[in-house]
Amino acid sequence: MTADVLSKVPTDLFIGGTWRPASEGGRFDVTDPATREVIAQVADGSVEDGLDAVNAASEALPGWAATPPRQRAEILRRAWELMTERADEIATLISLENGKALTDAKGEATYAAEFFRWYAEETVRMDGMVTTAPSGANRIMVVHQPVGVCVLVTPWNFPAAMATRKMGPALGAGCTVVLKPASDTPLTALLMAQILDDAGVPKGVVNVVPARRSGAVVSAMVHDDRVRKLSFTGSTEVGRVLLKEAADTIVNTSMELGGNAPFLVFADADLEAALEGAMIAKMRNGGEACTAANRFYVEESVAEEFSTRLAAKMGALKVGPGTEAGTQVGPLVNDAAVQKVDELVRGALDAGARALVGGQLPERGGCYYDPTVLVDVPADSAILREEIFGPVAPIVTFTDEADAIRYANDTEYGLVAYVYTGDLARGLRVSEALESGMVGINRGLVSDPAAPFGGVKQSGIGREGGHEGLLDYTESKYIAVTW
Ligand code: NAD
């Protein structure tokens, strides 16, 4: 399957409905993190290519914005069908270039496709509003219009889903797009372009430009007056840079940034359910998710039992190449990711934490880090402040609800939080007090194309998914009318 998938995937730029090499002729390597072998060479887009793509998107905009919503919806629906038919192929490709276990990759392929189906349904439900002005002098009408040409920048950890979570609503709203995928995982994005082309998206409506010089290419596009929106998913660090760039041309921005999710376990929780939820919240994608539980706060009376049982579950996971049958945890995306996880773990151990399982670099080749559970983690450890982005669960104890909330909120991030308790009133009370855009109560998974996904504080601006996700690609126009 793997050789077959790689032989079919496009590796050129997709601009104006045609596949073409980069203007400067460059290509860059894509590697399989399980073996560090080069699996493909992809065209390396230049500033000129980025601006050509903006040009194509700009020329296609009036026609696409004027296309009847039903027709736009049918194309998105067809894209969902094609992705569903090709789900195994998409999953294999994700697993090859990103490293994640095939089961996680299959989950991503389904989740990614669902954004097209959901937005096919939302595209025909773009309601406006009409009301009488309080003075009675006129009517207030509000219509939602496509924001225009959008630049979409996506990360490597969900190479399919982060692309469809942006393209689905953008296309549904009548916008045209230029997608700049992460350089570690451009192949999945190129396959998405091929699928959208097959689904009938007109030329120029979707353009995909992989580029190693991402800063220069994205900056040039964002400074082009024809670009009216920048939607970014990635680290908070790069998000800050892009917000400054967007300020120059006052471009509309959506920022889906890093997370540092707390996972709270109260003594009244169903411990078995909490452990199951912890495994999902921590280990989906091998821990390489913005929603990954990054810090576990467990009430003192159940902390020992929770930690011991979590360590047993983590230690039993099968680590190996993502594409190999039976693998539950694949390699991390690259060597730098392994190094970062290792540094955070070593820092915590040096400061007095204990590893119940894992805690050191494994000897096998490839970009691996073994599942690890740390206890007695000092409150000021970097591992509690920074995104780990790996299979490591640091556990801290708390004694009362107020402390748990205080610890959970003690971070610049605010994407998602998880709460396990048998008392629903407590669950809701704590959810309201948590500074995060999303909360899972007795659930280790919140992502859903039908729900507004996004963060507060330095985890981002805007929402993706749900009806809010569609509105993020529109401008509200107010028309005052006397009739
Ligand atoms: P990253 O910020 O390094 O890169 C993201 C994208 O930005 C890539 O396409 C990259 O090539 C590009 N990029 C990098 N520097 C740039 C620059 N100066 N100008 C323009 N583009 C630039 O993030 P990553 O390592 O690919 O992804 C992991 C991060 O993404 C984590 O912090 C994770 O939490 C976050 N993430 C957030 C969400 C969310 O919805 N909030 C979802 C997935 C991932």
Residues 6+ apart with CB under 8 A from 465: 115, 118, 165, 447, 448, 449, 450, 451, 452, 453
CA 348 – CA 376 distance, rounded (Å): 9
Determine whether 175 is an active site residue. Answer: no
Any idea which architecture 261-447 has in CATH? 3-Layer(aba) Sandwich (3.40)
Does 365 score more than 90 pLDDT? no
Q: What is the pLDDT of residue 364?
A: 81
Taking only the tens place, the pLDDT of each residue in 58-99 is: 999 999 999 999 999 999 999 999 999 999 999 999 999 999
Bridge partners of residue 180, in order along the sequence = 153
Pocket test of ligand 1: the residue of 157, 256, 388 to mutate, having most ligand atoms within 8 Å of its CB, is: 157
CA angle 388, 391, 396 (to 5 degrees): 65
Q: What is the pLDDT of residue 3?
A: 84
Looking at the CA of residue 464, tell me the nearest atom of ligand 1: 40
Pocket test of ligand 1: the residue of 166, 235, 248 to mutate, having most ligand atoms within 8 Å of its CB, is: 235
Catalytic option among 97, 108, 256, 299: 256
Residues 6+ apart with CB under 8 A from 16: 52, 53, 55, 56, 59, 60, 203, 204, 207
Q: Whose CA is nearest to atom 41 of ligand 1?
A: 256
In the reported structure, the alpha carbon of residue 473 is separated from the centroid of ligand 1 by a whole-number distance in angstroms of 20
In the reported structure, the alpha carbon of residue 240 is separated from the centroid of ligand 1 by a whole-number distance in angstroms of 11
Looking at the CA of residue 217, tell me the nearest atom of ligand 1: 20
157 lines ligand 1 (CB under 6 A): yes
Q: Which of 270, 284, 318, 268 is nearest to 426 (CA)?
A: 268
Looking at the CA of residue 453, tell me the nearest atom of ligand 1: 40
437 lines ligand 1 (CB under 6 A): no
Does 1 score more than 80 pLDDT? no
Of all residues in the chain, what percent carry a pLDDT higher than 90?
98
In the reported structure, the alpha carbon of residue 268 is separated from the centroid of ligand 1 by a whole-number distance in angstroms of 38
461 lines ligand 1 (CB under 6 A): no
Q: Which two tokens stand for residue 70?
A: 């039903």
Does 195 score more than 80 pLDDT? yes
Does 49 score more than 80 pLDDT? yes
Taking only the tens place, the pLDDT of each residue in 332-359 is: 999 999 999 999 999 999 999 999 999 9
415 lines ligand 1 (CB under 6 A): yes
CA 106 – CA 284 distance, rounded (Å): 12
Across 255-270, average pLDDT: 98
CA angle 20, 22, 26 (to 5 degrees): 135
CATH level 3 topology of 2-256+458-481 = Aldehyde Dehydrogenase; Chain A, domain 1 (3.40.605)
Determine whether 290 is an active site residue. Answer: yes
257 lines ligand 1 (CB under 6 A): yes
Looking at the CA of residue 256, tell me the nearest atom of ligand 1: 41
Alpha helices (H) in 200-257, listed in sequence order: 214-222, 236-249
Q: What is the pLDDT of residue 40?
A: 98
155 lines ligand 1 (CB under 6 A): yes
> Do 47 and 15 meet the contact criterion of CB atoms below 8 Å apart?
no
Q: Which of 254, 276, 225 is nearest to 463 (CA)?
A: 254
In the reported structure, the alpha carbon of residue 309 is separated from the centroid of ligand 1 by a whole-number distance in angstroms of 34
Taking only the tens place, the pLDDT of each residue in 432-471 is: 999 999 999 999 999 999 999 999 999 999 999 999 999 9
In the reported structure, the alpha carbon of residue 302 is separated from the centroid of ligand 1 by a whole-number distance in angstroms of 37
In the reported structure, the alpha carbon of residue 181 is separated from the centroid of ligand 1 by a whole-number distance in angstroms of 9
Across 36-49, average pLDDT: 97
Q: Whose CA is nearest to atom 19 of ligand 1?
A: 215
Q: Which amino acid is at 165?
A: R
Alpha helices (H) in 124-258, listed in sequence order: 161-173, 186-199, 214-222, 236-249
Which regions of the chain carry the CATH code 3.40.605.10? 2-256+458-481
Q: Whose CA is nearest to atom 30 of ligand 1?
A: 234
> Do 40 and 54 meet the contact criterion of CB atoms below 8 Å apart?
no
In the reported structure, the alpha carbon of residue 210 is separated from the centroid of ligand 1 by a whole-number distance in angstroms of 14
> Do 2 and 187 meet the contact criterion of CB atoms below 8 Å apart?
no
Q: Which two tokens stand for residue 169?
A: 């609503």
Q: What is the pLDDT of residue 418?
A: 98
Catalytic option among 97, 114, 122, 290: 290
182 lines ligand 1 (CB under 6 A): yes
Q: Which helix (H) or strand (E) holds 467?
A: helix 466-471
Of all residues in the chain, what percent carry a pLDDT higher than 70?
100
- DSSP character at residue 292: S
> Do 306 and 268 meet the contact criterion of CB atoms below 8 Å apart?
no
In the reported structure, the alpha carbon of residue 254 is separated from the centroid of ligand 1 by a whole-number distance in angstroms of 13
Looking at the CA of residue 241, tell me the nearest atom of ligand 1: 18
Across 373-386, average pLDDT: 97
Pocket test of ligand 1: the residue of 178, 208, 209, 238 to mutate, having most ligand atoms within 8 Å of its CB, is: 238
258 lines ligand 1 (CB under 6 A): yes
Cα dist. 337→65, 366, 391 in Å? 41, 12, 11
Looking at the CA of residue 183, tell me the nearest atom of ligand 1: 11
Q: Which of 105, 97, 1 is nearest to 40 (CA)?
A: 97
Which regions of the chain carry the CATH code 3.40.309.10? 261-447
